[in-house]
Amino acid sequence: MFNSGRRRAIKSLDVEISRAKRFGYYVGILLLDVDASIPRGVHKDLPGVTVNVEHIRNLLREYDIVFKTKLRRYTVILPHLEEGESARVVRDRLKFTSWIKEWGSVNIGIAIYPVQGQSSKELFKAAERDLKDTIAEDLSEEGKTY
Protein backbone atom coordinates (compact mmCIF):
# COMPACT_ATOMS: atom_id res chain seq x y z
CA MET A 1 0.00 0.00 0.00
CA PHE A 2 2.63 2.56 1.03
CA ASN A 3 5.36 1.35 -1.37
CA SER A 4 3.56 3.15 -4.18
CA GLY A 5 3.88 6.37 -2.17
CA ARG A 6 7.61 5.80 -1.79
CA ARG A 7 7.99 5.09 -5.53
CA ARG A 8 6.03 8.22 -6.42
CA ALA A 9 8.15 10.26 -4.00
CA ILE A 10 11.38 8.98 -5.57
CA LYS A 11 10.08 9.71 -9.08
CA SER A 12 8.99 13.23 -8.10
CA LEU A 13 12.31 13.87 -6.39
CA ASP A 14 14.17 12.75 -9.53
CA VAL A 15 12.16 15.27 -11.59
CA GLU A 16 12.83 18.08 -9.11
CA ILE A 17 16.56 17.28 -8.97
CA SER A 18 16.83 17.46 -12.77
CA ARG A 19 15.07 20.87 -12.72
CA ALA A 20 17.33 22.06 -9.92
CA LYS A 21 20.41 21.04 -11.92
CA ARG A 22 19.14 23.00 -14.91
CA PHE A 23 18.09 26.14 -13.05
CA GLY A 24 20.57 26.14 -10.15
CA TYR A 25 18.40 25.99 -7.05
CA TYR A 26 18.18 23.73 -4.01
CA VAL A 27 15.70 20.93 -3.35
CA GLY A 28 14.92 19.80 0.18
CA ILE A 29 13.49 16.52 1.37
CA LEU A 30 11.92 16.00 4.79
CA LEU A 31 11.05 12.62 6.27
CA LEU A 32 8.45 12.99 9.02
CA ASP A 33 8.06 10.14 11.47
CA VAL A 34 4.94 10.38 13.64
CA ASP A 35 5.32 8.76 17.06
CA ALA A 36 3.49 5.45 17.42
CA SER A 37 1.96 6.58 20.72
CA ILE A 38 -0.28 9.09 18.94
CA PRO A 39 -3.95 8.12 19.27
CA ARG A 40 -5.26 6.27 16.25
CA GLY A 41 -8.27 7.39 14.26
CA VAL A 42 -11.58 5.61 13.84
CA HIS A 43 -10.14 3.03 11.47
CA LYS A 44 -7.50 1.90 14.03
CA ASP A 45 -4.88 1.80 11.25
CA LEU A 46 -4.23 5.44 10.48
CA PRO A 47 -3.50 8.34 12.81
CA GLY A 48 -6.90 9.80 11.83
CA VAL A 49 -7.55 13.41 12.71
CA THR A 50 -4.33 13.66 14.68
CA VAL A 51 -2.15 14.20 11.61
CA ASN A 52 -2.56 13.42 7.93
CA VAL A 53 -1.29 14.60 4.55
CA GLU A 54 -3.69 17.55 4.45
CA HIS A 55 -2.55 18.81 7.87
CA ILE A 56 1.02 18.81 6.61
CA ARG A 57 0.18 20.23 3.17
CA ASN A 58 -1.59 23.21 4.78
CA LEU A 59 1.73 24.26 6.34
CA LEU A 60 3.64 24.24 3.05
CA ARG A 61 3.81 26.21 -0.17
CA GLU A 62 1.35 25.33 -2.93
CA TYR A 63 3.97 23.55 -5.05
CA ASP A 64 5.60 21.53 -2.24
CA ILE A 65 4.84 17.82 -2.51
CA VAL A 66 3.68 15.49 0.30
CA PHE A 67 3.49 11.69 0.18
CA LYS A 68 2.49 9.18 2.81
CA THR A 69 5.19 6.53 2.44
CA LYS A 70 4.63 4.33 5.51
CA LEU A 71 1.95 3.97 8.15
CA ARG A 72 3.36 6.81 10.24
CA ARG A 73 5.90 8.27 7.81
CA TYR A 74 5.50 11.18 5.41
CA THR A 75 7.88 12.44 2.74
CA VAL A 76 7.89 16.14 1.86
CA ILE A 77 9.71 17.45 -1.21
CA LEU A 78 10.56 21.15 -1.17
CA PRO A 79 11.50 22.29 -4.69
CA HIS A 80 12.72 25.76 -5.73
CA LEU A 81 14.60 26.62 -2.54
CA GLU A 82 16.79 29.71 -2.77
CA GLU A 83 19.13 28.42 -0.08
CA GLY A 84 19.67 25.22 1.82
CA GLU A 85 18.57 26.74 5.13
CA SER A 86 15.01 27.19 3.80
CA ALA A 87 14.31 23.49 4.37
CA ARG A 88 15.39 23.83 8.00
CA VAL A 89 12.92 26.70 8.46
CA VAL A 90 10.11 24.46 7.15
CA ARG A 91 11.25 21.64 9.46
CA ASP A 92 11.15 24.00 12.46
CA ARG A 93 7.68 25.24 11.47
CA LEU A 94 6.38 21.66 11.23
CA LYS A 95 7.93 20.73 14.61
CA PHE A 96 6.42 23.82 16.25
CA THR A 97 2.98 23.15 14.76
CA SER A 98 3.10 19.51 15.86
CA TRP A 99 3.79 20.71 19.40
CA ILE A 100 1.06 23.40 19.36
CA LYS A 101 -1.57 21.08 17.86
CA GLU A 102 -0.49 18.22 20.16
CA TRP A 103 0.22 15.76 17.37
CA GLY A 104 2.67 14.07 19.69
CA SER A 105 6.30 13.50 18.88
CA VAL A 106 7.07 14.18 15.22
CA ASN A 107 10.69 13.55 14.27
CA ILE A 108 11.96 15.03 11.02
CA GLY A 109 14.99 14.04 8.98
CA ILE A 110 16.25 16.47 6.40
CA ALA A 111 18.49 16.40 3.33
CA ILE A 112 19.19 19.07 0.74
CA TYR A 113 20.25 18.79 -2.90
CA PRO A 114 23.11 19.35 -3.83
CA VAL A 115 24.61 19.55 -0.31
CA GLN A 116 23.83 16.06 1.02
CA GLY A 117 23.44 14.23 -2.27
CA GLN A 118 23.25 14.38 -6.05
CA SER A 119 20.51 11.77 -6.58
CA SER A 120 17.19 10.85 -5.03
CA LYS A 121 18.75 7.69 -3.58
CA GLU A 122 21.53 9.68 -1.88
CA LEU A 123 19.07 12.25 -0.54
CA PHE A 124 16.72 9.61 0.88
CA LYS A 125 19.65 7.89 2.60
CA ALA A 126 20.90 11.20 4.03
CA ALA A 127 17.41 12.13 5.26
CA GLU A 128 16.95 8.68 6.81
CA ARG A 129 20.31 9.02 8.62
CA ASP A 130 19.28 12.44 9.89
CA LEU A 131 15.90 11.07 10.98
CA LYS A 132 17.58 8.22 12.85
CA ASP A 133 19.92 10.71 14.56
CA THR A 134 16.96 12.92 15.48
CA ILE A 135 15.05 9.99 16.98
CA ALA A 136 18.15 8.90 18.92
CA GLU A 137 18.58 12.46 20.28
CA ASP A 138 14.94 12.58 21.40
CA LEU A 139 15.23 9.19 23.09
CA SER A 140 18.46 10.14 24.86
CA GLU A 141 16.76 13.29 26.18
CA GLU A 142 14.02 11.05 27.58
CA GLY A 143 16.60 8.62 28.99
CA LYS A 144 15.73 5.79 26.60
CA THR A 145 17.91 3.98 24.07
CA TYR A 146 17.35 3.45 20.37
Domain ranges of the chain: 3-142
Closest C-alpha to 16, from 97, 93, 105, 123: 123
Phi, psi at 68, each rounded to 5°: -95, 115
Closest Cα to residue 135, out of 6, 1, 31? 31
Written out in words, the top-level CATH class of the domain with range 3-142 is: alpha beta
Residue pair 1/45 in contact (Cβ under 8 Å)? The answer is no
pTM above 0.85, yes or no: no
Mean pLDDT by 10 residues, the chain (146 residues): 76 96 95 71 48 72 86 89 86 87 85 95 96 86 62
Quote the pLDDT of residue 3.
64
